[in-house]
A and B are shown apart, each in its own frame.
Chain A
Amino acid sequence: MIETTNITFSPERLAEVQTLLKRYPEGKQKSAILPILHLAQKDFGWISVEVMDYVAELLDIQHIEVYEVATFYTMFHLKPVGKNVLEVCRTGPCMLVGSDNIVKYLEQKLSIQDGETTPDGLFTIKTVECLGACGYGPMMQVGEKYHEFLSEERIDQLLEGFRQNATQP
């Protein structure tokens, strides 16, 4: 699990933030909040209050303005999550092709329930609503990657891959 202790962007990230801010007119820098929250989640693992406060200061807006936004959008993890968040689509079209089974299989394999994280901090299962892959279900998103046409065998392979990744230096 990644803990948020040192909340500061690297100089490269800060440069990226500056580029982002230029996309919006003078005085409308609040618009950069979602792109910056995405960067923050990437770097710090999850969006803690400290992270939200840091983003507010970067944007020179009230802290509450960031809290309001971060709690509205489901992509932001407001609690610590595992290294790999397995976001499985549970909506109608995916359900028609067996997403329920996929969730159940993952829960059994990892001995955790939807929303929980494995004790080793490697995996979190999170059911989500439609991800725009409805014809290629069952599917899940892990990080920025879409894994489609899932089956039990495919899940086994993917989990194995994530585990190996975790042990690599």
Chain B
Amino acid sequence: MSRLKILTEHIDKPEITGIEGYIKHGGYRAVEKALKKMQPDEVTEEVKKSGLRGRGGAGFPTGMKWSFIFKGNDKPRYLLCNADESEPGTFKDRLLMEKIPHLLIEGMIASSFALGVKTAYIYIRGEYMYILHILQKAIDEAYAKGYLGENILGTTYSLDLHVHPGGGAYICGEETALIESLEGKRGNPRIKPPFPAVEGLWGCPTIVNNVETICKVPFIINEGGETYANIGIGASTGTKLISACGNINKPGVYEIELGVPVEEFIYSDEYCGGIKGGKQLKALVPGGSSVPILPNRLITKTAKGEPRLMSYESLSDGGFPTGSMLGSGGFIVFDEDQCIVRNTWNFSRFYHHESCGQCSPCREGTGWMEKILHRMEYGHGRMEDIDLLWDVQRKIEGNTICPFGDASAWPVAAAIRHFRDEFEWHVLHPAEATRRNYGMGRSAEPIEQVTA
């Protein structure tokens, strides 16, 4: 496996953060090439050829998405960079924006050119305010050098780029909620269709792309879509940033060529460096909190018995119940001491807290799941709670305006499928389950009397 790095090759060089350092290492060549030597459609064509899939979670082909942008009216078009990065376990976009902000800016310019966009925004989660300042400084530098503003590099193309902070709502990562939020409203997802490519920001055609996705565009322009398509494995082309966390020796962000075996990713020194304290691996969430958890026996091999690889296809092998997803690349590792019930409860609390509240199944269901799991974890569970929980998550999935509902249901469903015995143990040994929590120094939670 070659160790090609498309985004992070120079990331450890401090000078790469500034525009001079970035240019010194080959930066802004893609803008020169695209604006001076290519037609907008040619750029889209290269992105299509590259097989690049969106890195925000859903993995939708980027070139295809771009080709959907509505050209049938003379309304302005917008490109929005999704830098909301709020999926638990995901902390990769932060690295790019903090260390190599001009890569994102260059990607935004080239992508905006391809889409015929005159004004673009980077919507960044409000908590990343220190990164917003880094981006703003980089944007100012780009304006000063003539990469942004009127008649970029003496061409007829002009672009304005702005950063916009969110206010601490996970749902604003969902593209239509992001648009609502950018319009100055509550981040309530919109019913689709119309899709943003037809009617997005202020009713105008809009494309929303993740930071990492946009950052891939300069390489594709410089080296050609085919070169990119030859990296990786099968339809999982190129490289992917994986943010690894949990009980591993070397948490951090790694750029991998898609197709690396999961086992190698966890145990090799180049990546996670194995399980902390030499403990056993119990489970894994490969793509951020909303994707189904994989138990130990399904981590190195798929349900079909093939080696499990870090790729879109391999991680979703068989679909539910044994599959999962590459998602956003938020790789969360659990050692043998971790409690699946507790973790599932924690994630349910997250989803309950973050639900925008528009749909009853999501608004109420996430709350019920949280409460049922809470009482199981704190020694008040009943055997029928497991089926009740199953029932509640089934009633959320597929019955909501946006995919947040599914995202809240999948972790619960997967935990019950794979770790039902652990839920039963909690019901049968309430005192022990509770003691174990206090023993681990965990805060005492008040036991709520719930009747879900």
Contact = CB atoms under 8 A, between A and B. Distances in A.
A159 to B, nearest CB: 19
Contacts of B246: 93, 96-97
Contacts of B247: 96-97
Interface stretch (B39-47, B220-228, B230-238, B345-353): B345-353
Contact of B243 (A72, A131, A135, A145): A135
A137 to B, nearest CB: 7
Interface in B421-452: 440-443
A145 B87 CA distance: 20
B332 A72 contact: no
A166 to B, nearest CB: 22
Contacts of B342: 95
A89 to B, nearest CB: 9
B287 to A, nearest CB: 13
B296 interface: no
B184 A30 contact: yes
A134 B90 contact: yes
Nearest to B92: A132
A72 B251 CA distance: 32
A100 B93 CA distance: 26
B contacts with A: majority SS: mixed
Interface in A134-151: 134-137, 141, 144-146
A90 B289 CA distance: 13
Contacts of B91: 132-136
Contact of A34 (B181, B334, B350): B181
A92 B289 contact: yes
Interface string B138-178: 00000000000000000000001010111111100000000
Interface residues of B, number: 60
Q: Which of B164, B168, B253, B289 has the most CB of A within 10 A?
A: B168
A133 B356 CA distance: 23
A41 B342 CA distance: 35
A75 B127 contact: yes
A95 B90 contact: no
A73 B130 CA distance: 19
Contact of A91 (B166, B202, B346): B346
Contact of B167 (A23, A31, A72): A72
Q: Which of B88, B247, B332, B440 has the most CB of A within 10 A?
A: B88
A130 B91 CA distance: 10
Contacts of A72: 167, 169, 186-187, 356
Contacts of A101: 441-442
A96 B338 contact: yes
Contacts of A34: 126, 164-167, 181, 184
A141 B125 CA distance: 14
Contacts of A74: 167-169
B162 A38 contact: no
A96 B89 CA distance: 11
B330 A134 contact: yes
A104 B439 CA distance: 13
Interface in A155-169: none
Interface in B274-325: 289
Contacts of A59: 184
Given A69-B185, A93-B246, A95-B343, A134 B126 contact: no
A37 interface: yes
Interface string A108-149: 000000000000000000001111111111000100111000
Nearest to A146: B130
A75 B168 contact: yes
B128 interface: yes
A76 interface: yes
Given A104-B443, A129-B354, A73 B167 contact: yes
Contacts of A104: 441-443
A134 B329 CA distance: 12
The list of the 4 closest CB pairs from A to B, nearest first, reads: A73-B167, A135-B251, A75-B168, A30-B184
Given A93-B246, A133-B91, 5 more contacts: A97-B246, A128-B168, A131-B127, A135-B243, A136-B251
14 contacts: A34-B164, A34-B181, A72-B169, A75-B168, A91-B88, A100-B443, A101-B442, A130-B88, A134-B90, A134-B243, A134-B332, A135-B252, A144-B129, A145-B130
Interface of A: 23, 25, 28, 30-35, 37-38, 59, 61, 65, 68-69, 72-76, 90-93, 95-98, 100-101, 103-104, 107, 128-137, 141, 144-146
